[in-house]
Amino acid sequence: MKNILIISFLCLPAISQNYSGRFEKANEHYTLEEYAAAIEIYEDIIESVDHENIYYNLGNSYFRIGDIGNSIWAYEKALELSPRDSDINFNVKYLRSMVRDRILPPDDMYLISLYKSILLKFNLQDILLFIGLIFLLLSAKYVLNNFSSILNPINHFINYFALLLIIFYFWMALDKYWDVSDKNHGIITASAVDVRSSPLDRGENVVFRIHEGTKVEIHNLQAGWSEIILLDGKKGWIFSKDIRNI
């Protein structure tokens, strides 16, 4: 439980002095338990700056006032920017356990599940960096071959292995890019939401209900309505005001 209370006081070198000062001011409000004031500043900063520490502290602030939906949203945003951060991962898992809806995706084959778990640990920049490192190591190998024959016996193995890695990481990069650019996810921020069969506010077209903190895929938008798809494949329409895009 203690990780959920951590607030990041790390400096933000990539952010202008103006935003760093405001970030510190928001942190001061947090330590004084003035969470609404902290939230207001954090929310204002993220209009211009994407940084995992800001989203992380925003998530902590929302958690302190009992706003689970917006807290999960902020942690999910932080997780996109820093997918291997242990504190962020802990808090996301902890808050997901508090969500009322227990929606599970269909079971995948082991290798597919393993691939998806690996993909979640890296963002697109990480994957592109791995590809660049492989090309750099291959270049170093070819330079070394010009001065020494020490690698000659295993040259073919190294080349084939590097080729497989490049293909794998290129596929991961494409998969990650498609997920980021084509899929639009969101978090339910209202306490309870009626999901309807069509974008009409009528009692008879309510098909099921979901609750605060549930993560959904946003499939379509129409005049104040959002068509959503759940992890288990169920779909329907909700008011756009009840969901916050990740």
Final residue before a domain boundary, out of 166, 182, 198: 182
pLDDT of the residue at 1: 37
pLDDT of the residue at 240: 95
Same domain, 89 and 12: yes
- When pLDDT is cut at 50, 70 and 90, the band that residue 158 belongs to is confident
Residue 101 maps to a domain: no
Same domain, 86 and 114: no
Is the model more confident about 29 or about 160? 29
pLDDT of the residue at 28: 93
pLDDT of the residue at 15: 55
Dihedral of CA atoms 246, 126, 108, 99 in degrees, nearest 10, equals -30
Same domain, 40 and 81: yes
pLDDT, tens digit, for every residue of 65-84?
A: 999 999 999 999 999 999 98
Half-sphere exposure of 1 (CA within 13 A, CB side): 2
Lookup result for tokens 């504190």? 87
In the chain, the percentage of residues whose pLDDT exceeds 90 is: 46
Residue 152 scores a pLDDT above 80: no
Average pLDDT over residues 112-125: 83
Residue 126 scores a pLDDT above 70: yes
CATH value at residue 236: 2.30.30.40
What distances in angstroms separate CA 30 from CA 9, 84, 188, 227, 228, one per listed residue?
11, 25, 24, 36, 34
Average pLDDT over residues 236-243: 96
Q: Let me know how long the chain is.
A: 246
Same domain, 47 and 13: yes
204: Cβ–Cβ under 8 A, 6 or more apart, which residues? none
**How many domains does the chain divide into?**
3
pLDDT of the residue at 234: 93
Residue 102 maps to a domain: no
pLDDT of the residue at 134: 87
Final residue before a domain boundary, out of 67, 96, 125: 96
pLDDT, tens digit, for every residue of 204-233?
A: 899 999 999 999 999 999 999 999 999 888
Same domain, 164 and 221: no
CATH value at residue 83: 1.25.40.10
**Alpha-carbon radius of gyration of the chain:** 22
Mean pLDDT in the chain? 86
Residue 44 maps to a domain: yes
Alpha-carbon distance of 144 to 23, in angstroms, equals: 49
Same domain, 74 and 11: yes
94, two tokens: 């902890």
Same domain, 30 and 76: yes
202, two tokens: 């009528």
Average pLDDT over residues 58-64: 96
Residue 4 scores a pLDDT above 50: no
Residue 85 maps to a domain: yes
Same domain, 188 and 177: no
Residue 122 maps to a domain: yes
Residue 104 maps to a domain: no
Domain membership of residue 208 as a residue range: 184-245
Residue 6 scores a pLDDT above 80: no
Note the pTM of the prediction, 2 decimals: 0.76
Final residue before a domain boundary, out of 133, 155, 182: 182
What distances in angstroms separate CA 225 from CA 12, 101, 243, one per listed residue?
37, 21, 10
Same domain, 92 and 151: no
Same domain, 84 and 35: yes
pLDDT, tens digit, for every residue of 82-91?
A: 998 989 999 9
Same domain, 11 and 64: yes
Same domain, 82 and 6: yes
- When pLDDT is cut at 50, 70 and 90, the band that residue 16 belongs to is low
pLDDT of the residue at 201: 87
